[in-house]
Amino acid sequence: MRYTDPAQTVAEATFTTVQTTYVDSPLVSGQTYVYRVQAVGTNNEESERSLYASATVSADQSPPGAPSDLIVSLDDDNFQRVLISWTAPTRDSNGNELTGLTSFEIYRSRENNTSFALIAAVSSDQMSYEDTSVELLTRYFYAIRALDHAGNAGPRSQPVSVTTRGFAIPRNLQATGGELKITLNWAANTEPELTGYEILRFTDPTDETPDRIFSSVLTTYVDTPVTAGQTFVYRVRAVGPSNIKSELSVFVSAQAIEPPPVLAAPRNVRATGGELKITLNWTANTEPELTGYEILRFTDPTHETPDRIFSSVLTTYVDTPVTAGQTFVYRVRAVGAANERSELSVFVSAQATEPPPVLAAPRNVQARGGIGHITITWSANTESELTGYRVMRYTDPAQTVAEATFSTVQTTYVDSPLVADQTYVYRVQAVGVNNTESEPSLFASATVQIDDIPPATPGNFVAILESSGAAIELSWDAPTRDANGGDLTGLASFVIYRTDPLNNNVLTVLTIVDAESRAYRDTDLLNRTTYRYQISAIDHQGNESERSPIRTVTTTDIVPVPPTDLVARYNPAVPEINLTWTPPDKYDHFIVQRAEIAGAPSGTDIRNLTDGDYTTLETEDPITTTSYSDRDIKSGFTYVYRIRTSLSGRIGGPSDTDFDFSP
């Protein structure tokens, strides 16, 4: 209990503790406080209060120590953000226990560690700061100072410096005037973050705002078209992510010149060799007087007189046929309306090549043996005449006639089925239009692998008794891998095993179904008998998988199932009404029941018939077929029929009805 005056009878503050010491904080410096202590028991019983004890709160004149572990780093994503972190002091600057900590002050000095200025203050629970007011390519020093509740400011931490990143000003900027163009070049910046450059054009260098801004990822830019004789001024700056930019370069200027009069020599002349031909291309002249071009061919570039001169109104010319392997040299000149001619272009040369065969023999033929098959692959032919390929198989590379030939339009072929452990040899031939053929490829051979790995066991094997009790439904999933976990090399069939109740319930083969089957319906059942089932998979080599887990089903008394698809049709030739139906899986014989209605009744009349309206037709022998002819009919009546199944002495429910009218 705390008092500010021992004469007080009521404490101004009360505290609870299970220790024998208590620290009362925070308190007013210079203030005297009085305390009494009272013991408290388990049932909230209390002792007498202790004698008074008093003390005066000392004034805090000792500041916190300097923060430590100052770390200053650059943000990887933002050039203009510096990340600062530190560790709070744990003791006062005099080495005693820390008497309080309220905030931190962040100081920064530019380019030296002597001109520190306060840039931010944060609370004592924050020990990091992001400085976003920095300039690019500048060195900054940082220091941190801690303050306590009494306003005592501790010493600053040791300064730590960092130099911000940025882009250097592009150097060696040059401007060169050309025909209605000015070409700019400069030295490349080396910063890895560089994304390109901005080129600022001014018509007046005293203007602060450029009249045009261009972008380039290269260290050159051609400003065209520009007015000849006018001075254009340029500056360049580097650009990076987040639109960070360098300072502008120095000014450079240039003037474009007028293009020369008359006809310029054709430019960018190129010669490309082809099959018995050389193709020439050049950049089009733009003079309005232009009417065409002359192409001069030389067999020796030292000759002044060409051996041939060709004419063209296009910017391309194909010299054909020419001798393959011989070098031909060309120059081009423009021709005008008044038969004026430009200077000759620079020399270009090329050689023609021999035309390849119509179809090349397929290349890179490879054969790879698998289980029961061999896969042959090759590189695709590129001829436009190609229509497909012929794969030829031999058992001996000395054979001149293939023992088997296959056709395909793909660049792969799978030869299957093949004899295990047998080596086969293959050649591939390209086939084109009009049934043209290439030479056969080189031989490639492979050996068929032996399949001695069975399939994996079929999964999800289930056996369920039908509600009628007439059949047990089996279902399963086919294996997708071999038993060793490798690719499935084949699947031929499934073997279903079932216990034989007449042979000591031994599991024997019930049936074998094909590889496409995923279900089987077992109808050969006895009443009240337990059957156990297993299933296995067999591949084309006869390898049988492990059997599945056993599934057990016990049959009940089979409930006769009604027939379906009943059809009644009047036959005037006899006359009679012929009945046909689809039988259930199990039956002994069928019972035909009939109701008769005079005239042609409505559908409602037929639906309103009750069991009492039907009579059972008497027959000499039980009906064991799926048809019956009723000749005991009268003219002018409609006859409604239904069929019941008799099985093991039990009569099933009626089938759906059908009817016909006897006229």
* DSSP reduced 3-state for 64: strand
Average confidence (pLDDT) over 564-592: 94
Q: Last residue of some domain: 554, 588, 608?
A: 554
Burial grade of 591 (CB within 10 A; 0-12, 13-18, 19 or more): middle
Q: Residue 84 pairs with which residues in a beta bridge?
A: 72, 129
Could you give the CA distance from residue 322 to residue 276 in angstroms, rounded to a whole number? 5
The single-letter DSSP state of residue 264 is P
Structural domain boundaries, residue 31: 17-165
Decide if 333 is inside a domain: yes
Q: Which of 322, 318, 424 is nearest to 370 (CA)?
A: 424
Decide if 559 is inside a domain: no
The pLDDT, as a whole number, for residue 466 is: 87
Please give the single-letter amino acid code of residue 430.
A
* DSSP reduced 3-state for 612: helix
The pLDDT, as a whole number, for residue 56 is: 86
Q: pLDDT tens digits for 653-663? A: 899 999 999 99
Write down the mean pLDDT value for the chain.
91
Dihedral angle, C-alpha 295, 301, 307, 313, nearest 10 °: 0
> What radius of gyration do the chain's Cα atoms show?
52
The pLDDT, as a whole number, for residue 603 is: 85
Q: pLDDT tens digits for 26-83? A: 777 778 899 999 999 988 899 998 989 999 887 778 899 999 999 999 887 777 899 9
Whether the per-residue pLDDT at 261 is higher than 70: the answer is no
Range in 168-172, 630-634, 646-650 with the lowest mean pLDDT: 646-650
* Same-domain check for residues 525 and 486: yes
Decide if 322 is inside a domain: yes
Top-confidence range, 9-13, 523-527, 534-538 = 534-538
The pLDDT, as a whole number, for residue 215 is: 95
pLDDT band at 447 (very low <50, low <70, confident <90, very high): very high
pLDDT band at 242 (very low <50, low <70, confident <90, very high): confident
pLDDT band at 202 (very low <50, low <70, confident <90, very high): very high
* Same-domain check for residues 518 and 627: no
Tokens standing for residue 218? 């290269």
CB contact at 8 A, 637 and 594: no
Cα separations in angstroms, 514 against 205, 493, 498, 520, 538: 90, 4, 18, 11, 10
* Same-domain check for residues 532 and 438: no
* Same-domain check for residues 307 and 413: no
**pTM for the full model?**
0.35
Whether the per-residue pLDDT at 501 is higher than 70: the answer is yes
* Same-domain check for residues 161 and 180: no
Q: Residue 301 pairs with which residues in a beta bridge?
A: none
* Same-domain check for residues 522 and 585: no
The length of the chain is 663
Sheet with 551-554: list strands edge to edge: 506-514, 493-500, 530-538, 551-554
DSSP characters over 416-483: -S--TT-EEEEEEEEEEGGG-B------EEEEPBP---PBPPPEEEEEEE-TTSS-EEEEEE--SBBT
Decide if 260 is inside a domain: no
pLDDT band at 632 (very low <50, low <70, confident <90, very high): very high
The pLDDT, as a whole number, for residue 512 is: 96
Whether the per-residue pLDDT at 620 is higher than 80: the answer is yes
Whether the per-residue pLDDT at 126 is higher than 80: the answer is yes
* Same-domain check for residues 145 and 223: no
Please give the single-letter amino acid code of residue 658.
D
The pLDDT, as a whole number, for residue 63 is: 93
Decide if 361 is inside a domain: no
Whether the per-residue pLDDT at 263 is higher than 80: the answer is yes
pLDDT band at 131 (very low <50, low <70, confident <90, very high): very high
pLDDT band at 260 (very low <50, low <70, confident <90, very high): low
Q: Which of 400, 450, 408, 407 is nearest to 425 (CA)?
A: 400
The pLDDT, as a whole number, for residue 634 is: 93
CB contact at 8 A, 195 and 217: yes
pLDDT band at 560 (very low <50, low <70, confident <90, very high): confident
Whether the per-residue pLDDT at 468 is higher than 80: the answer is no
Q: Last residue of some domain: 396, 418, 447?
A: 447
Decide if 12 is inside a domain: no
The pLDDT, as a whole number, for residue 660 is: 93
Count structural domains, the chain. 6
pLDDT-above-70 percentage for the chain: 99
Q: pLDDT tens digits for 393-429? A: 998 888 889 999 999 999 999 998 888 889 999 999 9
In sign, the C-alpha dihedral spanning 645, 646, 647, 652 is: positive
* Same-domain check for residues 27 and 129: yes
Decide if 360 is inside a domain: no
What CATH code is carried by the domain that includes residue 228?
Answer: 2.60.40.10
* Same-domain check for residues 442 and 465: no
Q: Last residue of some domain: 135, 165, 195?
A: 165
Please give the single-letter amino acid code of residue 330.
Y
* Same-domain check for residues 235 and 325: no
* Same-domain check for residues 338 and 314: yes
The pLDDT, as a whole number, for residue 525 is: 83
Decide if 395 is inside a domain: yes
Whether the per-residue pLDDT at 155 is higher than 70: the answer is yes
Could you give the CA distance from residue 658 to residue 640 in angstroms, rounded to a whole number? 6
Whether the per-residue pLDDT at 363 is higher than 90: the answer is yes
* Same-domain check for residues 33 and 145: yes
